[in-house]
Structure 1
Amino acid sequence: MNLSVSFQTQADATSKRFSNEDLSAHFDKFKKVIESEKIGFFQLSEKTEHLDSARAMFEKHKDKTHFVQVGIGGSALGPQTLIDALKSNNKVKFSFMDNTDAEYISQLLSEIEEPKKSLFYVVSKSGGTAETIANFSIARNFLRDNGIKKDQLKDHFVFCTDPKNGQLKEYAQANGYSCLQVPNDIGGRFSVFSHVGLLPALFAGVQIEELYEGANEFKSALLNPDLSENILMQTGAQLMCLFEDRGVNQTVLMPYSSRLKTLSHWFVQLWGESLGKIDSSGTNVGLTPIPAYGATDQHSQMQLFMEGPSDKAIFLLEVKNKAVDFKLDSGLEMDSARKLENFSLNQLIGAQFNGTLKALQDQKKNVIKMSIERNDAKHMGSMILFFESLTALMGEYLGIDAFNQPGVELGKKYAYEYLKNLE
Structure 2
Amino acid sequence: MLKLQSHIHTQIKDISFPNISHYNQCSFEELFDIESIAKEINQRAEVLLVIGVGGSFLGARAVIDALTPYFAPDEFGVEVIYAGQNMSGAYLHQLLKYLDKKEVYVNVVSKSGTTMEPALAFRVVKQYMEKRYGDESKQRIIVTTDAERGVLKQIADNEGYRRFVIPSEVGGRYSVFTAAGLLPIAAAGIDIQAFLNGANHAEKDFENDNIEHNAAYQYALTRYEMYKKGYSVELLASFEPRLNKLHEWWKQLFGESEGKEYKGLYPSTVNYSTDLHAIGQFIQEGSRIMFETLIHFEEVEADMEIPFTFDDMDGLNYLGGRSMNSINAISKDGVALAHEEGGVPVVKIVMPKLDAFHVGYLMFFFMKACVISASLLEVNPFDQPGVEAYKRKMVELLKKDAVLVNE
In 2, Cα distance between the equivalents of 1:238 and 1:371?
Answer: 16
> Across the two proteins, how many residue pairs are aligned to each other?
393
**Contact kept in structure 1, 2:216 and 2:366, CA below 8 Å:** no
Show CA shifts across 1:331-370 (max 9, x none).
2742343243232111111111111111122223211101
Task: State the TM-score, normalized to the length of structure 1.
Answer: 0.89
Tell me what 1:290 maps to. 268
| Structure 1 residue 422: Cα displacement | 1.5
Tell me what 1:229 maps to. 213
Tell me what 1:271 maps to. 254
Pair 1:416-2:395 in alignment: yes
Tell me what 2:196 maps to. 212
Show CA shifts across 1:236-295 (max 9, x none).
222111211x211211111211111111011111111111101xxxxx112111011122
Q: What is the DSSP-based 3-state SS (H/G/I as helix, E as strand, rest coil) of the residue aligned with 1:148?
A: helix
Pair 1:314-2:292 in alignment: yes
Q: Which amino acid aligns with 2:81?
A: S
- 5+ residue gaps, structure 2: 403-407
| Structure 1 residue 144: Cα displacement | 4.2
**Contact kept in structure 2, 1:42 and 1:389, CA below 8 Å:** no
In 2, Cα distance between the equivalents of 1:158 and 1:378?
Answer: 26
Q: Which amino acid aligns with 2:145?
A: T
In 2, Cα distance between the equivalents of 1:61 and 1:351?
Answer: 42
Match among 220, 232, 238 for residue 255 of structure 1: 238
| Structure 1 residue 391: Cα displacement | 1.1
**Contact kept in structure 2, 1:322 and 1:375, CA below 8 Å:** yes
Q: Which amino acid aligns with 1:341?
A: G
Over 4 Å off, 4+ runs: none
Pair 1:354-2:353 in alignment: no
**Contact kept in structure 2, 1:239 and 1:313, CA below 8 Å:** no
> What pairs with 1:14-413 in structure 2 (closer than 5 Å)?
18-19=10-11, 23-26=12-15, 28=16, 30=17, 33-34=18-19, 41-49=20-28, 50-62=30-42, 63-87=44-68, 90-91=74-75, 92-97=78-83, 98-115=85-102, 117-145=103-131, 147-149=132-134, 151-244=135-228, 246-278=229-261, 284-331=262-309, 333-413=312-392
Q: Which amino acid aligns with 1:54?
A: I
Change in CA separation of 1:57 and 1:335 when aligned onto 2, cut-off 3 Å: closer
Q: Which amino acid aligns with 1:77?
A: L
Q: Which amino acid aligns with 2:258?
A: L
Q: Which amino acid aligns with 2:337?
A: K
**Contact kept in structure 1, 2:208 and 2:214, CA below 8 Å:** yes
**Contact kept in structure 1, 2:23 and 2:174, CA below 8 Å:** no
Task: State the TM-score, normalized to the length of structure 2.
Answer: 0.92
**Contact kept in structure 1, 2:205 and 2:214, CA below 8 Å:** yes
| Structure 1 residue 114: Cα displacement | 3.1
Tell me what 1:38 maps to. none
Q: Which amino acid aligns with 1:159?
A: V
**Contact kept in structure 1, 2:110 and 2:145, CA below 8 Å:** yes
In 2, Cα distance between the equivalents of 1:57 and 1:287?
Answer: 40
Percent identity over the alignment?
28
Q: What is the DSSP-based 3-state SS (H/G/I as helix, E as strand, rest coil) of the residue aligned with 1:24?
A: coil
